[in-house]
A and B are shown apart, each in its own frame.
Chain A
């Protein structure tokens, strides 16, 4: 009997073992994949799905066998841990969310199923590169990395300031394995770095590259210490995002004369995360601008608002695509009610004031009043002015207006919260009109200058308290003795 069982068992094993190797992956993994992943990645792993036209970047087609995010050398498949990491952490700046709902065993099963879509790729051995201990950051190391950034020609694609605006213009021809266009990464936007933004992530990306994209592997062409220096320099380019609800606008005697005036760098800022307009047709499912940095200053006469955002390739509309553009929105009239106008272009009852700047008309403001997105009327007269610059991948636009307001103007009152919102357009991405990246309402407040009494009264009062205290003390001691 025992012998029979043994023989039967032995007969089962090859069938099970080799069967699983050839057939579609892991049945448990397939079940979860079909329920949670196939809607974007396709039931056959080929990304033929409902979401392929409304996501940028598009969902990964696993059947190609190219996997961007690896810890293994160029030419090798990703490890199971690499795939697990993408499932667990998601992909920053893409539609791939982090999946925490699955158990480790379930993720393992999904990984096995995903691998079955590209059996050729995963027939090869996957061994991660050694990442070692990173050297400590120092000014010298960052300087060394900066020199290497030029020497290793990173600058050719990613640009001097690392904003993905390399001057060689190669990126126009860039293609992925999947046949889509792709742009070099903007290092200043750490939150967009798909393969992670930590020092180790950057080092790994430089070393092994991103399969299927023009991001090439430097492991064989740059020594380890040069790659760490580069990683430190690239890490140092990342913006510190300052998120908030309200921006402090301070008073100054003179406004900076240019939008790229270094004086602006000392001014407080707030970062506005922005996303595609999805309420009305034509919707923007695939925005590329993710952040607008806002700064403000005012004088006795004027308010100036600086808006800055990155654009890998400026576009003034002369190539047949729409022009790059940015728009700031304020409620018409004073905002006193608790309810703000509808955040996207207002309504009939609560209209908004729009100032739009276009790269095609560098010094002009297109002012209008909107009572909803289908009811926009250009203003005949507006005092708002604009000046703009494009420096190394960064747009800077300053809107200025006198503080006193005419009919249909926003009201700029010192010491009050002034609501505003932003719409940004990347022309090369086909954005114009209501198709653009939008923000929610935020506030700016022109801080009242500190009056002199603030400096006078507190010391006077504390002195008074001190004198009274000493007096009391003396009196008490007297009483005690007496």
Chain B
């Protein structure tokens, strides 16, 4: 843990101790040193607990990977969105693109995320673009990295607002950002600060939605057209992996990663 990661009360508490000790042990340098050491020892556990969630970057030399394919037990019909606002730009109807499933039942746009990773390789410098295109978010599912940026765009000649929120159950959320993009080609950049699965919405066009998984570690991926994903350079160990899809729901798998090896993680969703 680096010194700049300390919170203000760590300093405050430390200042108070030093003050007390100064008053009580004015000239006794030896005792001062002894007590200073004692205070630091007492503070240490609290500091560690307070920052338990911080991600630590280490050099991963002989890491392992998780690789797999996400499938559906059968074809699922993609819903069609009925559009009743701004039809001149948005069209009269549009595919929801919720179930993008190949002929071989491979599912696109599934988020696969290794949860609560304490340390590993550095977070990629990859900003996450969210574009408003013909009243649809592009992409519909994405991974963002805490510390990087969201680049939010409006490619339509109409008003959109882009609102990100942590889902708190059916129809409820905690707003993370709500930004106005009144004009075409407006671009807003914002830091990714809040971690977790977020819904992206536009209040003006209620059918628009996308999902962003904001990850504290680099170990998260979205499946491609073939339902494939790969998460590389994990330190060997046991992990919990979240597999999430907008329509199918969520499942959590235990995975053991071994040095220099690829652990297979396949999953087949069944539409309830």
Contacts and interface: CB of A to CB of B under 8 A. Distances in A.
Contacts of A151: 182-183
Interface string A69-91: 00000110000000000000000
A126 interface: no
Contact of B175 (A5, A9, A177): A177
A214 B161 contact: yes
A6 B21 contact: yes
Interface string B98-133: 000000000000000000000000000000000000
A180 to B, nearest CB: 9
B17 interface: yes
Given A2-B25, A124-B193, A216-B203, A74 B182 contact: no
Interface in A229-278: none
B24 interface: yes
Given A75-B176, A178-B172, A221-B180, A10 B46 contact: no
A190 B13 CA distance: 46
Interface in A129-172: 151-153, 156-157, 168-170
Contact of B43 (A5, A6, A14): A14
Given A214-B161, A214-B203, A18 B46 contact: yes
B3 interface: no
Given A3-B31, A153-B159, A156-B159, A10 B174 contact: no
B203 A174 contact: yes
A66 interface: yes
A175 interface: yes
B190 interface: yes
Interface stretch (B34-42, B140-148, B261-269): B34-42
Nearest to B196: A120
B161 A74 contact: no
Interface in B44-97: 45-46, 49-50, 85-86
A367 to B, nearest CB: 40
Contacts of A178: 172
Interface in B210-265: none
Interface residues of B, number: 49
B174 A66 contact: yes
Interface in A187-221: 209, 211-212, 214-218, 220-221
A65 interface: yes
Nearest to A18: B46
A11 B42 contact: yes
B42 A170 contact: no
Contact of B42 (A10, A21, A156, A157): A10
Contacts of A452: none
B181 A221 contact: yes
Contact of B172 (A168, A177, A215, A218): A177
A457 interface: no
A17 B25 contact: no
Interface residues of A, number: 45
Contact of A211 (B21, B178, B181): B178
B9 A216 contact: no
A212 B13 contact: no
B155 interface: no
Given A124-B193, A216-B180, A17 B13 contact: yes
Contact of B183 (A74, A215, A221): A221
Given A17-B9, A170-B203, A170-B204, A74 B35 contact: no
A13 interface: yes
A64 B182 CA distance: 28
A116 interface: no
A121 interface: yes
B270 interface: no
A321 B92 CA distance: 28
A438 to B, nearest CB: 34
Given A170-B85, A216-B163, A14 B179 contact: no
A217 B178 contact: yes
Given A7-B35, A17-B13, A214-B203, A221 B46 contact: no
B168 A64 contact: yes
Interface string B19-30: 011001100000
Nearest to B152: A220
Contacts of A124: 193-194
B2 to A, nearest CB: 18
B271 interface: no
A173 interface: yes
23 contacts: A2-B24, A3-B25, A6-B21, A9-B20, A10-B21, A10-B38, A13-B13, A13-B16, A17-B46, A21-B50, A64-B172, A66-B175, A74-B177, A75-B176, A124-B194, A153-B182, A170-B204, A173-B203, A216-B180, A217-B180, A221-B181, A221-B182, A221-B183
Given A121-B174, A212-B174, A217-B179, 20 more contacts: A5-B24, A6-B20, A10-B17, A10-B20, A10-B42, A13-B13, A13-B16, A17-B46, A64-B174, A75-B175, A75-B176, A173-B203, A174-B203, A177-B172, A179-B170, A216-B179, A216-B180, A217-B177, A220-B179, A221-B182
Interface of A: 2-3, 5-7, 9-11, 13-14, 17-18, 21, 64-66, 74-75, 121, 124, 151-153, 156-157, 168-170, 173-175, 177-179, 209, 211-212, 214-218, 220-222
